[in-house]
């Protein structure tokens, strides 16, 4: 976590939300609905409630939160279902969980590794020889999953949110994205640096299909969603709509008349994310998944340690590409030190939606949230989301 993000979280505790443009219609703030305060210390409950109080605000229109574990539980929701009706946000709603998808993809690969159908130390090219070129022939499966592969991002036609909105229904083929990425020079030698990108998980999704002989979506459903009873969770394929009840997502952007305002972005094609970022879920399902994962019921045995092992070289954490900061991503998860302890989890962002799962290693405290952020893919963490992290675990520590 860089200094800028640390400052953001500190500010979130004090201010709740940064000042922003007056883009929200006049509406009464929805009260925080706390359905369960099962043993969470009063101070923590107050901080969590404060983090989502007063929604909708300029940078978020709704929030759904579940805290669990042996330290107690807390559930809350705030904000509105949509800005037209101003109905209260539905706490059971589905949402786009973005890169939380990577945890499901990583867990699926690790399950296949446990069955010896995938070898983490083998090269991706050995599984996909017709797709991965010789120039990337030394990239291993583990390096795909811990972002140390050196493959650059696929080239995309759109750069700004406005351009992406105009092309929101464009379909992206994962093989073409891999060809676009591997047609460029590599960023660094595999295993020497870390750069968080989607492309490694796009390759991993194709690898899953190659090994299992079935679609990525079918494999995740059969191995994880079905066995855990995650009935509110699904992989959307090419459908741009969220099935079932969902709170609308909004994004701040430049409108046709040149003004800055919020646009409803709830309907948006998911194919640029695929195995790296297209899952749709609920807070209840993600809480169940998180507890099962950390308890060793999804990935069993020694391979679970891959998810709690940051990449090193000669005993030192790898540097992050360009910034030089210590590597923070493992296979599927990332690690932050909050409140004096290690917190492992994964955040995700799709336009209009931010989500996260997190837990201490022993499962004493879990956190799942969905925040309908109007700055969901900005350079900095949304302040409502940041305040929730600190409310659940405490401030960042060295």
Which of 308-337 are b and which e, b meaning 16 or more Cβ less than 10 Å from the residue's Cβ? Answer: eebbeeeeeebbbbeeeeebbbbbbbbbbe
For 253, what's the count of Cα atoms within 13 Å in the CB-facing half-sphere? Answer: 19
Cα–Cα dist 303/113, whole Å: 8
Cα–Cα dist 233/231, whole Å: 6
Q: Which residues of the chain have pLDDT under 50?
A: 1, 3-22, 26
What pLDDT, on the 0 to 100 scale, is given for residue 356? 98
Cα–Cα dist 44/75, whole Å: 12
What pLDDT, on the 0 to 100 scale, is given for residue 28? 57
DSSP summary character for residue 398: -
Whole-angstrom CA distances from 186 to 46, 119, 126, 137, 393 are: 48, 23, 18, 11, 38
- List the domains of the chain with CATH numbers: 3-393 (3.40.710.10)
Cα–Cα dist 309/338, whole Å: 18
Long-range Cβ contact pairs of 214-218 (< 8 A, separation 24 or more): 216/105, 216/274, 216/275
pTM: 0.93
User: In a 3-state reduction of DSSP, which class is residue 65?
Assistant: strand
Cα–Cα dist 346/138, whole Å: 27
Cα–Cα dist 103/355, whole Å: 13
What pLDDT, on the 0 to 100 scale, is given for residue 269? 97
What pLDDT, on the 0 to 100 scale, is given for residue 398? 83
Outline where the chain has alpha helix (H). 3-15, 42-52, 101-114, 124-127, 141-145, 161-166, 174-182, 199-212, 216-220, 226-228, 283-294, 383-393
Do residues 192 and 76 touch, judged by C-beta distance below 8 A? no
What pLDDT, on the 0 to 100 scale, is given for residue 40? 87
Q: What is the largest CA-CA distance in the chain?
A: 59
Hey, what are 341's tokens?
């302890």
What pLDDT, on the 0 to 100 scale, is given for residue 35? 62
Cα–Cα dist 173/341, whole Å: 41
What pLDDT, on the 0 to 100 scale, is given for residue 23? 55
């Amino acid at each position: 976590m860089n200094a800028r993000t640390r400052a953001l979280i500190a500010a979130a505790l004090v201010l709740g939300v940064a000042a922003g443009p007056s883009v929200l219609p006049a509406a009464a703030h929805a009260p925080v609905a706390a359905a369960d305060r099962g043993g969470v210390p009063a101070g923590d409950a107050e901080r969590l409630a404060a983090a989502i109080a007063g929604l909708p605000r300029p940078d978020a229109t709704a929030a759904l939160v579940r805290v669990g574990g042996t330290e107690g539980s807390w559930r809350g929701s705030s904000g509105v279902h949509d800005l037209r009706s101003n109905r209260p946000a539905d706490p059971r709603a589905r949402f786009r969980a973005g890169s939380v998808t990577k945890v499901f993809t990583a867990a699926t690969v690790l399950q296949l590794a446990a069955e010896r159908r995938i070898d983490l130390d083998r090269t991706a090219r050995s599984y996909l020889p017709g797709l991965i070129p010789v120039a990337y022939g030394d990239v291993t499966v583990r390096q795909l999953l811990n972002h140390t592969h050196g493959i650059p991002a696929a080239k995309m036609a759109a750069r700004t949110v406005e351009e992406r909105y105009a092309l929101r229904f464009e379909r992206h083929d994962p093989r073409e994205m891999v060809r676009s990425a591997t047609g460029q020079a590599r960023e660094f030698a595999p295993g020497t640096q870390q750069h968080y990108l989607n492309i490694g998980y796009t390759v991993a999704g194709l690898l899953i299909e190659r090994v299992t002989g079935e679609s990525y979506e079918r494999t995740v459903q059969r191995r994880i969603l079905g066995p855990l009873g995650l009935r509110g969770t699904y992989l959307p394929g090419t459908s741009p709509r969220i099935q079932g009840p969902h709170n609308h997502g909004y994004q701040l952007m430049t409108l046709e008349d040149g003004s800055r305002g919020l646009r409803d972005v709830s309907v948006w094609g998911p194919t640029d994310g695929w195995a790296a970022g297209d899952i749709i879920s609920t807070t209840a399902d993600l809480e169940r998944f998180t507890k099962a994962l950390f308890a060793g019921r999804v990935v069993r045995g020694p391979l679970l340690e891959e998810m709690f092992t940051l990449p090193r070289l000669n005993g030192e954490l790898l540097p992050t590409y360009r910034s030089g900061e210590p590597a923070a991503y493992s296979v599927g998860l990332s690690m932050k030190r909050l409140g004096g302890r290690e917190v492992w989890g994964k955040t995700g962002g799709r336009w209009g939606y931010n989500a996260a799962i997190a837990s201490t290693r022993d499962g004493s405290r879990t956190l799942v949230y969905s925040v309908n952020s109007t700055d969901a893919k900005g350079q900095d963490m949304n302040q409502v989301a940041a305040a929730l992290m600190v409310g659940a675990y405490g401030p960042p520590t060295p």
